[in-house]
Structures are given as C-alpha cells and as structure tokens.
Structure 1
C-alpha cells in the first residue's frame, strides 16, 4: 500500500495551485471554496507543512507548495492520458478551438466551410471568449491568443500580425483627416490600455493632429459591434485591418487614409504535451494555410489621400 494522502485533498491542492485561487478551484471541482480550504488544510496536516500563504483576497504557494505542485500536475496529466487511452473513442473526432469573440465572428466563422473541406473527418467546436482559457483545465484543445506572443508553457506560432486604421462606410464621404470632426468616432473598450495599445489618441498623435472628438463618440464593449456600427454608417472606427479585411474587399467599408498603427499579434497556441496531437496538428495546418492566403494588409487607398502613412 502506498502511503499517500487522500486523493480529494491532492485534487483540491492541484487545482488551487494551478489557479492560485480557492474560488476558481472550487468552481472547477464543483464544490464550495470552504470545502477546498478544508481539503488543503487536511493535506497540510498530513504533510505537517504549509502549502499556501493565505493573504488578503489571494493565496501564494509556499516553497513546499511550489515543490509539490509540478509533481502532482504531471501525475494527474499521466492519469488523464491513461484513462483517455481506455475510453471508447467517439464516432467522429472532435476538437475545440478558443479565440476572442471578435476574431471568432469576423475571421473564423466565415471560414467554417473551408475548414470542413480541409478536414472532412473532424468536427470543430468554436469557443468564443475574451478571457484566455486555461488549456490545462481541459475542455479546450487549441487557442488563438491576441497579444505580444509570450505564452509560457505553451507551443506558440504566429498566425497574423494586426494593424489598425480609420475605416468607415463609403456613404459618409470621408476623404481627409479633417473630415473626422464631422462624424462620431467609434471605439471599443480595450481590456487593458498600455502605451502601445492602438487607440484614437495614439492615431491622432501619429497623424500629427490634435485629438478632437467634435463629432462625438460611440463606445462599445465588444469590438465586433464597433465594426458593425461603422458598416451601418454610424461613424468612423479605428479598426483591426485583420477583422475588417472582408468588408474592405467588398466595399462595405473603406480605409480613406492613414497612418496605420501596429496592433498586437494572433498566435496559435497549445500545450507542449497536448492530447489529440494529430487533430491539433491538422487544425493548426489549416489555420496557418488560411493565414498565408490572407492579405497581410488591406489594399491601400490612393497615396494622396493618406498623409503620414509609412
């Protein structure tokens, strides 16, 4: 008999250490935070050592906790692989891909037919969320992350580099930066604003013009809503050229002038030792092929209408 503490206490510790939160661990295990705390206390008593420092509104792993967590994580991963190997495989292979709400609706959904043609034996489930999903928690096999490209513990490949520029309906008749004062500026709320976040103040600074909102502003919580408002002619949006490429190509939107601002990048990420490796490889190849055929930037408008464009 192996002299081990109760499995329930080990599960509670592994989940709490992974999330650094008793509440999130409780949500994952479908128990109360009090139950998680009790299980971890039981484990600490069994080991006669503290595993967490309880601080105001957060917990931090002690050196002992930091030492125990990797071994438990690897052990549970090995258990999961063993159990998965014995499960009856589904009739059709399936994979869940997570991405932001805007990228899912504007880039992935229009390409579903192309995916079915490229991977006819694989069912794809799209998970749209602006909260990055924990791939270790299960439920999501592959993700497209939008940011600076630093994703520790994950295999990452560049999918698309983003750029931002003013776009609007051609019905507005916007021809020059001076016309911006005649229409509302459309924007969405970034989850985090930093010095290099593409915002209207940064665009005006790059264009060498004072930041003015004499036409007013319309603010949206979702990026795709600001794009739809621009298509409807409600104002001028500072939009991702990746997300509006189809509308620029069809003429539903125009990019009347520059400059363009660097955005962040879309990366395809998955666990280094991911389950469903063959399925992940197939979807990754399809995504990279789609990105390769995707225009790196929208067709530029006439140079005389784009002062300040690099």
Structure 2
C-alpha cells in the first residue's frame, strides 16, 4: 500500500462519483486546479488514462471505471464507519458481556425491564463465554460464571448455582421402575454432562457418596442450555442450575430426579468491572438492578424447590462434606 497515493485516490473517487472537478473540489475543500493535479499524479502512477473528455464532460475510461468501483466502495465504507463512530461517541450506551446460557435463559427474559426503566440508554448484550479484556475492549461490565476472585476488578456476587439432577417426568418414572436405589437408577440413566459447569457429575456423586462403576457421559455439551433441552426431551438426566430452567420446572416439563437429595449451592454468577467503570451512572444502575433481580429470582427458585420437598446444602460450608450432610437411605 505504500506505493499508492491515497490522497490522489481520494480526489479521483470524488471526481468520478460527482462527475466534475468543480464539485469534487467543493466537497474536498480545495481548488479545482489542486484536484486536477492529483488526478494527473494518479494517472502517471498507474500509466493509464482514467478520464476522457466528451463534450465538456469527464467520462471514466475502462481502467478508470475499474478503479472507481473499488475505491468508491472502500471510501464509502470508511465514511460509514466514521459516521457510526461519531454517533456512538454521543450515544448513551451500556455494553454488557454475559455467558450464552445465562444470557439467553435468564437475562434475556428480564432485560426489557431494565431498558424500560432507562429509556434514554442503548443496551448492548454480548453473549460469549470469553471474559472481557477491559483494557482493550469497549465493554462496561461482565456477568461472569465462575469461581470469582478476579484480581484488580470489582467483583460482586449476583446469584448462586442451585444444582440438582433434572429430567422429564416420564424419564424419572422409567428410572424408578428400573431400580429401587439411587446408584442403580443412575447406573442405568443417561447422564448429560455440562462440560463447563462448576459442579459436574463427579463432584455431585462424591458429595452424595454415590459410587458408579465406569462413569460415562453419553451426552456432553459445552452449553447448559443444550443439556437442559436434552433432559426436557427425555434424553437423560442433566445436572444443572434450577434457576436457569424455572419456567420448565413450573410447567412440569422438568422434575428433580431425586428430590430427597439436597440441592447443592455455591456462588457462581458475578458482576465484574474495573473499579473506574462504576463512576458511570448507568453501570451503577445496572449493578444494583442485576443484583436485586437475581436475588428475587434465586428466592423464587428456592421456594419452588422447597415446595417439591427439596432441601439445600451449601458447598462452601465446612459441614458440607460431612457424613451427616448426606440424606440417610439415599446414598449407596
């Protein structure tokens, strides 16, 4: 690109698009002679004529038309990008990055409420499993799924994982008919693995002192939403967060595989941003809103599960892994 005269190319594109040197000069804010000089420079560089004069009009040659088709698209794209950047600079916007499953299943149905309370702001949700590099990306905050404790950032707890095995009612009945005990049912069940979950089957089995010979996963997904959908369709048993599928639980499309075994809970969802971002009013507003909305959602989920007879066990509590924490008669 170093041997291409970009200034002369810009002048050429303006003349070709507007049809006259005079109009191009007015658009570029230079004299007509300056435009003509740049056109000659470009023609000398390419070694071809770019225009021919017909009855006091400039008409593109074949070579000139080929160059114009390329340059007008390029300069048009640059002008559009410049305009978009200018508009964005003056737009009140909030950009949030969120894990795909949490974004689709939990945040998506609720974000309209926040937008309605803040109608002067543009809300952008970027659903990706990758955490933001705040120093190089234009992201205001993350809703992260993980263990927490990211150094140098403001990290606020949003919601806990409420993890239990879930399946369709028909699948639960079939497994109950297949074996009288939990280990027997699980050994015959198709276990669905959410590969990126903090609490996976091996941890759940150890916490409940259930031993399975040759633990395997007929289905493994890197998105909890896919695991939940597979379980809902009767494909097996998913180990996942009940708060992400509360609508399916309320409709009876999903049920706890073993409601008598406590739901395992652990902190998993966090509001994360650089401390300086909290100086923006909209970031502070969103932080307060998301924490409040998630707290209410978690309480609703706990109440619903308790109504099904489920108990809860905090995986971060010292007594979580003691024998007394295991429900008698369930573990094998």
- TM-score bracket for the superposition, by shorter chain length: 0.5 to 0.7
Q: 1:134 Cα shift? A: 0.9
Q: Which residue of 2 aligns with 1:187?
A: 193
- Contact 1:159–1:267 (CA under 8 A) maintained in structure 2: yes
Partner of 2:134: 135
Q: Deviations over 1:273-298 (max 9, x none)?
A: 12771111121122122112113435
Which position in structure 1 is the counterpart of 2:144?
145
Residue 163 of structure 2 aligns with which residue?
A: 164
Matches within 5 A, 1:95-244: 95-172=94-171, 173=173, 174-175=175-176, 177=182, 178-190=184-196, 197-212=198-213, 217-244=218-245
TM-score (norm 2): 0.58
Residue deviations 1:151-200 (CA, integer Å, cap 9, x gap): 22211211111131101111212556243334311012228xxxxx4221
Which of 262, 286, 299 does residue 305 from structure 2 map onto?
299
What TM-score comes out, normalization by structure 1 length?
A: 0.62
C-alpha deviations, 1:184-235, integer Å up to 9, x for none?
A: 11012228xxxxx422122222222212568962111222111111111110
Q: Compute the RMSD of aligned alpha carbons.
A: 3.0
Shift of 1:118: 2.5
Change in 2 beyond 3 A, CA 1:149/1:179: same
Equivalent residue number for residue 259 of structure 1: 262
Write the distance in 2 (CA, Å) between the matches of 1:227 and 1:309: 25
Q: Distance in 2 between matches of 1:252 and 1:289?
A: 27
Q: Residue deviations 1:32-78, cap 9 Å, x none? A: xxxxxxxxxxxxxxxxxxxxxxxxxxxxxxxxxxxxxxxxxxxxxxx
CA drift at 1:302: 3.0
1:3-42 equivalences in 2 (<5 Å)? none
Provide closer, same or farther for how the CA distance between residues 276 and 235 of structure 1 changes in structure 2, counting only shifts above 3 A. Answer: same
User: Which of residues 285, 288, 308 is equivalent to 1:285?
Assistant: 288
Shift of 1:303: 6.0
The structure that is helix-richer by fraction is 2
User: Which structure's CA Rg is the greater one?
Assistant: 2
